[in-house]
Structure 1
Amino acid sequence: MPVPVPAPITYTPVPIVEAKNLSESTFRLKYRSRKPVVIRGIVPSDLWFKQEDIIKKLKTPTVMIAHDNANFIDNDKYVSKRSAEDITVADIAQASSKQRLYLRSIVPEDVKDGLGLPLLQEIANVGSFKDDLMRLWLSSAGCITPLHYDRCHGTLLQLAGTKRFVIFSGDDTRQLYPCDGLNGPTHASRARYIGRHLDTQPSTILQQWPKLRDTDPWLVDLQPGDLLYTPPGFWHEVTSTSVSLSVTVPWDMTAQEIACVPAHMAF
């Protein structure tokens, strides 16, 4: 008898909406804590970022170097860190084939002022963002933030270059090979390189991570100006598909949302 062919991984494109067409009520009813969405038109169309100018404004930036030259987790088991006062965009870009670099920094105030955050606050009905967790990220091509989830509402604004996100609902947690605290932090997964093969060679993923066959991921390739919303507890893997400049803008869950978190997010 012929050997049955395993079903491939199927994915859903993340929906894309224009900010001018997205009301607070629509965001709340369709997306908040429910599913990811890309919002376009948050950043003013006449605003363009010169990466070198931004890098020169950074205060106490840190560069992470992954031990495996690919996967970046903020944990000493996986990365080393160094200060980056003299780093340039060219340093990040040229590092890709030798030793990939991932720079992170507090967002300069004048950059923050140009990000269209009041419009995002209005759409999300947020009094204030988590300024202590807002970060600017500059990465070499090929840098990966492995599959993990966050405990807050998260948005990532792509300023330059491109990033690929693969996103899973918390309902898929059992199929996502979560770490147990010994083989990695409990909010992270052991699965790797999903975005690299999801739309071209899904069998490559399933050979190593067969339980992913029973998941329902979303996929999106972010372009400059795109803002991606990811709900709390949703797993996501992020791959810099080029030299990339991004800003993350998170905000806290409400008391009611915290009271209803799924088991995998238990505090």
Structure 2
Amino acid sequence: MGLDLKQIPRVAKISKTDFMAIYVSKQQPVVIEKLIEDWPAYKKWNLAYIAKIAGDKTVPLYDDRPISSELKFNEPHAQMKMRDYIELLKEKPTNYRIFLYNLLKETPPLQQDYSYPKVGLKFLKKFPFLFFGGQGSKVFMHYDIDYANILHFHFHGEKQCILFPPSETKYLYKVPHALISHQQIDYTNPDFDRWPALKHAKGFVTNLKHGETLYMPEGYWHQMTYLTPGFSMSIRALPFNWIHLTRGFYNFFIMRHLDNFMRKKKGQRWINYKNEEAIKRTNKRNRIKG
């Protein structure tokens, strides 16, 4: 028995009117298979091209180690030249990922390879981020700090994406004062004896291939598994829901600073407290004994 996941709907192409009316207004995810076929990036972007054009850039790397008091919010675990990192991706499976990196700002020629789709969203054009991962690497279940509407474009290979709407937060063992689910949960093979509330969560899943676009609505939880080495780009638009907008401002200007302060003051005790509270609060909310 696995998670209760439906396949995310797919369309080949879609008009701005239909995209806004059917998916954005109803806050439902969708995969658009041919949205970016007119981008130069559709034909050009692969790992070899990135190594050629940005190989000398030193990039921040993250692995799958649990969050600890030793690192600040989104602080990388290592650094490497992009060329060497891509060689590592090709050579063997690795847990090292590039996360929320603005390579496009540092490598101007890449900026000529894409444009902002005219789908009705007002994009934040200074924040297009790239994400890289090796075969088998996983991104922990989380939602984004700003509650943005996100278009996520995948390149080179295939990745699995599991999504949950904000309504399912009560089942996901959310860590307090954080944007993540309890990191010991394996969403690709969940242990329902240990995490019983997950049995009630209803979500979505899809496998993204080269050139496909995933729309993730405001505040959606997402967990990614790279089935092959590859990379993706995300662009974001501010939330329409004023509650989400307010929560995004709180997360960015208050929550993350409070969390860093408590890590510095209490160290690992703060991390342990949050993880324990994630379990206690979820089980209590769902009337689960244990």
Show the 5 A alignment for 1:34-53. 34-44=27-37, 47-53=43-49
Q: Who is 2:19 aligned against?
A: 27
Q: Distance in 2 between matches of 1:77 and 1:54?
A: 23
Contact 1:18 1:39 in 2 (8 A): yes
Show the 5 A alignment for 1:9-158. 9-19=3-13, 22-32=14-24, 34-44=27-37, 47-58=43-54, 60-66=57-63, 68=65, 80-96=77-93, 99-103=94-98, 104-107=101-104, 108-115=107-114, 117-118=115-116, 120=117, 122-123=118-119, 125-127=120-122, 129-150=123-144, 151-158=147-154
Q: Distance in 2 between matches of 1:100 and 1:90?
A: 14
1:265–1:207 Cα change, 3 Å? farther
Q: Secondary structure at the match of 2:192?
A: helix
Structure 2 residue ranges without an equivalent (≥5)? 251-290
Q: Secondary structure at the match of 1:165?
A: strand
TM-score normalised over the length of structure 2: 0.71
Identical-pair percentage? 16
Segment of structure 1 superposing worse, 245-254 or 160-169: 245-254
Structure 1 residue ranges without an equivalent (≥5)? 1-6, 198-203
1:89–1:82 Cα change, 3 Å? closer
Q: Distance in 1 between matches of 2:219 and 2:80?
A: 31
Output one character per residue of 1:98-138: Cα deviation in whole Å (capped at 9) or x when no partner: x52213442244334333x34x2x11x134x3344312222
Segment of structure 1 superposing worse, 76-85 or 244-253: 76-85
Contact 2:97 2:137 in 1 (8 A): yes
Q: Distance in 2 between matches of 1:88 and 1:106?
A: 14
Q: How many residues are aligned here?
A: 234
Selected match of 2:165 from 162, 166, 169: 169
One-letter amino acid of the structure 2 residue matched with residue 139 of structure 1: G
Contact 1:144 1:240 in 2 (8 A): yes
> Offset at 1:95?
4.5
TM-score normalised over the length of structure 1: 0.76
Contact 1:92 1:138 in 2 (8 A): no
Output one character per residue of 1:222-259: Cα deviation in whole Å (capped at 9) or x when no partner: 111110010111111111111012111112224xx2x2
1:114–1:175 Cα change, 3 Å? same
Structure with the larger helix share: 2
Selected match of 1:243 from 196, 213, 229: 229
Output one character per residue of 1:75-112: Cα deviation in whole Å (capped at 9) or x when no partner: 5698513142542522223242xx52213442244334
One-letter amino acid of the structure 2 residue matched with residue 18 of structure 1: A
Q: Distance in 1 between matches of 2:81 and 2:249?
A: 36
Q: Distance in 1 between matches of 2:160 and 2:197?
A: 22
Q: Distance in 2 between matches of 1:187 and 1:147?
A: 9
1:61–1:109 Cα change, 3 Å? same
Q: CA RMSD in A?
A: 2.8
Q: Distance in 1 between matches of 2:62 and 2:249?
A: 31
Q: Secondary structure at the match of 1:261?
A: helix
